[in-house]
Amino acid sequence: MFSKILIANRGEIACRVIKTAKRMGIGTVAVYSEADRDALHVEMADEAVPIGGAPSRESYLVMDKIIAACKQTGAQAVHPGYGFLSENEEFARRVEEDGIVFIGPKHYSIAAMGDKIASKKLALEAKVNVIPGHNAAIETPEQAVEIARGIGYPVMIKASAGGGGKGLRVAFSDREAFEGYTSCRNEARAAFGDDRVFVEKYVEEPRHIEIQVLGDAHGNYVYLWERECSIQRRHQKVIEEAPSPFISESTRKAMGEQAVALARAVRYQSAGTVEFVVGRDQSFYFLEMNTRLQVEHPVTECITGLDLVELMLRVAAGEALPFKQPDVKRNGWAMECRINAEDPLRGFLPSTGRLVEFQPPECTIFAAGAPANTGVRVDTGVYEGGEIPIYYDSMIAKLIVHGTDRRDAIERMREALNAFVIRGVGSNIAFQAALLNHPQFVAGQFNTGFIAQYFPRGFKGVEPSAANTEALLAVAAVVHRRMRERAVRITGQLPGHEVRPPAQFVVRLGDTSNTVSVAPFEGGYKVICDGRTHTLTTDWRLRDTRFSGRLDGRPIVLQVDRVGLRYRLTHNGVQLEAQVLSPRADELLRKMPVKAPPDMSAFLLSPMPGLLVDLAVAPGQEVKAGQRLAVIEAMKMENVLYAPADTVVDQVLAQKGDSLAVDQPIVRFRAAA
């Protein structure tokens, strides 16, 4: 076994590899960019080497710097994680040529599976089901239309070197095929330096299900069951689970055996994933093979009790797999939610900045490789007070739960999401909670179009149920009562005018008002709301964001923020602002005028924090509705801002290269005559 390895990555996956390496007694070396000088993976590693500027093209993607860091520190092997250089055939080959072990498949396996056209041909030879399509590079949009007609609409137009949703379009007509071909080539050229495009049949109501495989240098191959990855937004996975609630045992076995056949055909040595698209009739077709560790690998670890990073290390060191296919057991149900720094209510735009609060739920599963057991696990590469930079992907953490069955896993995930406190940057926790509570998801009746179908206009928040509203009313009243109880203890109060917590409050939620009575008893409070009596017990302290207790004997976890004179309550994806007043204060407030918000319609505002990489207008310029005005870059994504109407630019308030805050004015338009 190696005595020291280098992790050629950052963030959550770097920390994940370091944890297993430390458990195995292996020394670790981290590499870091200027933006990651104070990152968690740098702190966790035994050694750390700086490798360049904040943009990944100046640091994490520079092969020479990573190889030099290996030699400088004496690292015998390099783990690439996922993303960056993890599936780069040239990097794997160069590492091996320099006498360093690549903790992953051999370069020839990466090359064979890295090209989507070549991989499909190999899959056909290995007798793996392949989607009908044209597997040669297409030269013109006219040819793309002709091929699409021959296959039959709908079709998928895909970049050969694509991934992560880039270079992919679904076409339902000749016009969409023509335009999609051009867009795919442009995206692929910009993202991968390879503009080859092919066309294949689009499977309707598809499921995205993948098989985890392992191979070693001794000809041993196994599959570790499947992962259901159909809950996606714009081709990016949002929730993953294992096993799938959809496929039968016979389909599961057939998919696993075909995945192993493909791994054997390319002499695969490491952990890898074979991705399939599965139709509503359980017909399945090969999509691609990911020649690396997957983001969602923890759900497989939970149901098998295996540590995939450890197995990668052992295979790379030349060891044989320690088990055969019949030894791979399946225990319980696991789910993973990707917690991202983004604002769902603003079109999922990236959110960057400092993590003012970062309090994950209590973890009961601490390490992979332990016997499979139920509980909560959090994999992350951040810490409270740390920065979420604009240069890399938006993932803050992975929240993983393991339950006895699917219903148990869903309940555990709901509770864990309610307990996950993130402040300072936006997160998608409310959106995840909405998905977990959707009846179609709970029933397991979904496909890759689930989010587009049920959230066609994006995420606008969750409407509270009557029961949820009443629970939040009770909590708001008790929280305010606790505030008033603290005020009672303030010294120096004028005799005869001491603070006395009232027995009755008016709780205002938006336009509605509710009279709530609160009476303390030993260990809790009796709350009367609309004639219904509840008991609420809690040890909540005023400084805590997370509120936990028991409402009518049942556990409840939610989050409470003080916002001016209001309380912002968050539970099961619902967010409500409550104002708690005495009856007299409520009476007076009703007589107060409402202040109108400022009119910002004359400004182009930055919808997110980011870098202004292009500004296409100047003062005095006439612009038409829909005209491109500016481009903001954040977290590896470019966001184009367009003119909202025909108008004239009055003043440019920001310059190309500026770092922008959310809602910062970029352009002011001339007022209409």
What is the set of active-site residues?
Answer: 288
- Spatial separation of the C-alpha atoms in residues 80 and 17, rounded to whole Å: 10
Q: Locate 121 and state its tokens.
A: 């041909």
CA angle, corner 463, sides to 460 and 467, nearest 5? 160
Specify the 3-state DSSP secondary structure of 535. Answer: strand
- Spatial separation of the C-alpha atoms in residues 516 and 530, rounded to whole Å: 7
213-240 burial: b if 16+ Cβ within 10 Å, else e: bbbbbeebbbbbbbbbbbbbbeeebbbb
**640 exposure class (CB count in 10 Å sphere: 0-12, 13-18, 19+):** exposed
What single letter denotes the amino acid at residue 375? G
Q: Which of 299, 246, 554, 541 is nearest to 413 (CA)?
A: 299
Q: Which of 670, 668, 660 is nearest to 606 (CA)?
A: 660
- Spatial separation of the C-alpha atoms in residues 126 and 261, rounded to whole Å: 6
DSSP letters, 462-480, are: -PPPHHHHHHHHHHHHHHH
Q: Which of 560, 579, 583 is nearest to 502 (CA)?
A: 583
Phi/psi at 661 (5° precision): -95, 165
Beta bridge partners of 567: 562, 578
CA angle, corner 295, sides to 58 and 321, nearest 5? 110
**69 exposure class (CB count in 10 Å sphere: 0-12, 13-18, 19+):** buried
Phi/psi at 441 (5° precision): -70, -45
User: Which residues, 6+ apart, have CB-to-CB distance to 574 below 8 Å?
Assistant: 430, 461, 462, 463, 464, 468, 472
Specify the 3-state DSSP secondary structure of 181. Answer: helix
- Spatial separation of the C-alpha atoms in residues 623 and 644, rounded to whole Å: 10
**Helix 11-23 / helix 308-316 crossing angle, nearest 10 deg:** 70
Cα dihedral 141, 146, 150, 154, rounded to 10, equals: 40
User: DSSP label at 203?
Assistant: P
Is residue 119 within 8 Å of 263, Cβ to Cβ?
no
Q: Is the peptide bond before 243 cis (omega within 30 degrees of 0)?
A: yes
User: Which residues, 6+ apart, have CB-to-CB distance to 43 below 8 Å?
Assistant: none
Cα dihedral 253, 259, 260, 265, rounded to 10, equals: 150
